[in-house]
Every structure is written in structure tokens, then in C-alpha cells.
Amino acid sequence: MEILTHPNPVLSDRAGEIDPATDPGLRSLVRKMAEAMYENQGVGLAAPQVGIQKRVIVFDIDEELGAICNPVITECSEETEVDEEGCLSVPGINVPVERAISVVCEGLNLDGKRIVLEAHDFLARVLQHEIDHLDGVIILDRLTPDQRKAAIREYNNRAAAE
């Protein structure tokens, strides 16, 4: 599966909720998303990044593949942290993004069963990043106007150099 990159307008759209029980293509979509994520050494991927406007994310930060449908952050810590973040849809650059240190994420597994995930630190960051994609938000949108300008300049220079 091809991963869409900025400034593809699909990355700015809001993806729709899905019903795992009545979505026959879901398992194959998740398998292909996982393949694309591993191939590109990513730690997470959201369906809109492969052009599918469904609220599905996959992630793997400790050699265990996770997938959540319709993920929602239901709680997040007041404490935040700024750290460098990259994105397969904005390849080649890392930018400082502020995220909650801990979150509770609720959603559905591939069988349509409700799941609740308590995540801290890096996993919390990955979940917030991937759920942003479902709302059409990418890391560049999390920057101040000045940071954004500098990041886009760096991104365009890298793309031009390739």
C-alpha cells in the first residue's frame, strides 16, 4: 500500500466511524496497513494515510501489533511533554510536538468488542498522533506558525533534494 504524503488533501479529511462487525474488508485492511507500517519502519499508521477514510489505526511499539477501530481519547493527563515526532506522511523531518504523557483510549477491536487501553509515554504519544490522522490533523498542524513555516521549508528542501 502506498503511503500518502503531505500535502495530499486526503490527509486533511476527517475519517468516518466503522462497524467492525459489518466491515468484511477490515481484517485485510489492517493486515495491509501493518505491512506498510513495518516496511517503512513506522511505529503507527492510520487508515487515511493509505487513502482509506475509516477510523482504524495500527501500532507496534514493543513488537506486538495493535489495532483499534473508532479510537477515542477519553482521558488524558494534564501533564504534557514536548518531544521530536516524525510521520510517514511527512517523511524526512522531525518536529517538536506537545502531547499528554498519559491517555486512556477506548475503541473497538477487530471483533467489534469494546477495548480500553491505558497508555503512557511513547505509546500515549503514538496513539495521540494516529488519532490526529483520523481527524485530518498532522504534526505540521501542531506547530506554531513560525515552527510550521520552518518545518515546511525543511520538508520541501528534502523533497527537492531527493
Contacts (CB under 5 A) with Zn ion, residues 43-62? none
- Please identify, using beta-carbon distances, which residue of 68 and 87 lies nearer to Zn ion: 87
Tell the smallest beta-carbon distance from residue 22 to Zn ion (Å). Answer: 28
Q: Which of 63, 64, 75, 130 is catalytic?
A: 130
Tell the smallest beta-carbon distance from residue 64 to Zn ion (Å). Answer: 20
Q: Interacting stretch for Zn ion, rule CB under 5 A, among 22-30, 64-72, 79-87, 109-117?
A: 79-87
Choosing from 76, 87, 105, 131, the residue that interacts with Zn ion (CB under 5 A) is 87
Task: Give the residue carrying C-alpha cell 477495548.
Answer: 115
Residue 127 makes contact with Zn ion by CB under 5 A: no
Q: Is 130 a catalytic residue?
A: yes
- E strands, 34-110, are 44-46, 56-59, 66-76, 80-85, 95-100, 102-108
Q: Which residue is nearest to Zn ion (CB)?
A: 87
The DSSP result for 102-127, as a single string, is EEEEEEE-TTS-EEEEEEEHHHHHHH
Lookup: cell for 95? 518536529
Lookup: cell for 68? 483499534
How many angstroms separate the CA atoms of 132 and 120, rounded? 17
- Please identify, using beta-carbon distances, which residue of 20 and 48 lies nearer to Zn ion: 48
DSSP 3-state assignment of 47?
A: helix
**Catalytic residue numbers, as ranges:** 130
| Residues lying near Zn ion in the complex (CB under 5 A) | 87
